[in-house]
Amino acid sequence: MATAIWRNASRLRSFNRCLYARSLSQFRSSIPSSTTTPHSLCAPSLPSFPPVIPVGAEFKSLGIYGRFLSNSTATPTENQEKPSSSSKTNSEETQNTGGSQQSSGSEGKPVRGGPVSWLSFLLLLATGIGIIFYYDNLKKRHIEGTLLCFATAEISNASKSVKEGPSAGKAAIGGPFNLVNHDGKRVTEKDFKGKWALVYFGFTHCPDICPDELLKLAAAIDKIKEKAGIDIVPVFISVDPERDTVEQVRKYVKEFHPKLVGLTGTPDEIKKVARAYRVYYMKTAEEDSDYLVDHSIVMYLMDPNMEFVKFFGKNNDVNSLTDGVIKEISQRKK
């Protein structure tokens, strides 16, 4: 600001000097040229000329100077304000242009909130999970296919070995025994050779299962005789030697079938025959002399050599037991 004032003052001084010099030159040119006149004669006869600068011109020049000063002083400010206003205008135009471009761009393109949005993250996560499940299922199918091929090869090799090789043998069920029948006579497995037999293990104090199974056995041997003409010897072996005496066994077997043979023996003899036929038995809760015996519920079909052929479980009824026995005997006779 001080620099601008100093410059304006310098300009004013220069302007005054120029104005004074011009006024002086005009004054000199207005005096008529004359012969040399004594200085004494000229002095009193000098005409009065109006001043070149009229009265009030100084004030007018001062007013002009003031206006010049004010204009020159305001000019930098205006110049400073004009760039700011121009910059504001440019910025507004830029904002308007950018806004128009952004609005036009927003109409053509979706506004992106950032480099990774929630939607893209969820899509990426879903894609990753899908790839994991796909490769997991592919791996499982590959493993299952490999196992299936391996099992098929094993079955094929086993079938070839069965066809080409010898017989696989028989189950290790059955064997020698030495027991007492319901008539008090000692009998062994040899006494039953020559006929087909169905052997069942139980005890005479059984409340429900043993009676049901013995009734089914008695009905089946009658139907087998009737349908196929085959005589089957039904055999009942007690697993409760402490209570199943010869007399108790005789009374018990006569309640089911006249051909039913009852066998009993000492605890060691019963243990030996049960082990030979793979039969499980065990006493349960004991209260005085009243207890139950948990045991296997199985009927064993034995051929005329007292060798094991097939077993029949509790799920077989009279008809299925009858048909199963006839089928096995028919196959063995061929």
Binding site, annotated residues for Cu cation: 206, 210, 295
Which pair of structure tokens corresponds to residue 204?
């005479």
**How many angstroms from the chain centroid is the CA of residue 330?**
57
Known binding-site residues equal 206, 210, 295
